[in-house]
Amino acid sequence: MQKYFFILISLFFFTQDLLAQGKVKVYDDYEAFKDLLQTESDSTYVINFWATWCKPCVAELPYFEDLHDHFQHEKVKVILVSLDFKRKIETKLKPFIKKNSLKSEVVVMADPKMNDWIGQVDDDWSGTIPATLVFNKAYYSFTEGEFDSADQLKDLVKQFLN
């Protein structure tokens, strides 16, 4: 009996480790990615463009994780869009996700032709990160730059839920 308990506990921790590393979906071109930026559902989407090498991006990630936890029982979906290089996914991004126990969905936008698609995300986006879209069927907001607090981000999302 003790042997089976040990096996179950080992499987649990192995599974948790795999989940923490997470599978990261990679979008190689904007055409495949742009569906994330549209919805017909009743959900509100919070899409943050960031990278592991961007200090302001990393500094505000806890705000998005707090948002994820705060609205987990509502129709709010947080997606963290990494702009890290595709070749760094295994060596930099996945270890970062695991180390920081990110619970929000993380995807990679690996289309190197950023100048071609940045303006399609938002006309006013200069390409600076962090940058965040919040949208649902009725409303849209784009923020270029870092949020000052988790509360500032929550207040923005609450406007979409009322």
Q: Does residue 5 belong to any structural domain of this protein?
A: no
Per-residue pLDDT tens over the stretch 45-77: 999 999 999 999 999 999 999 999 999 999 999
Q: Does residue 82 belong to any structural domain of this protein?
A: yes
Number of domains, the chain: 1
Provide the percentage of residues in the chain whose pLDDT is more than 70: 86
Q: Does residue 27 belong to any structural domain of this protein?
A: yes
Predicted structure pTM score:
0.84
**CATH number (domain holding residue 61):** 3.40.30.10
Per-residue pLDDT tens over the stretch 84-130: 999 999 999 999 999 999 999 999 999 989 899 999 999 999 999 99
Three-state secondary structure of 64-105: HHHHHHHCCCCCEEEEEEECCCHHHHHHHHHHHHHHCCCCCE
Six token digits for residue 2: 């003790």
pLDDT band per the 50, 70, 90 thresholds, residue 23: confident
Query: Is residue 1's pLDDT more than 90?
Result: no
Q: Which domain holds residue 137?
A: 23-161
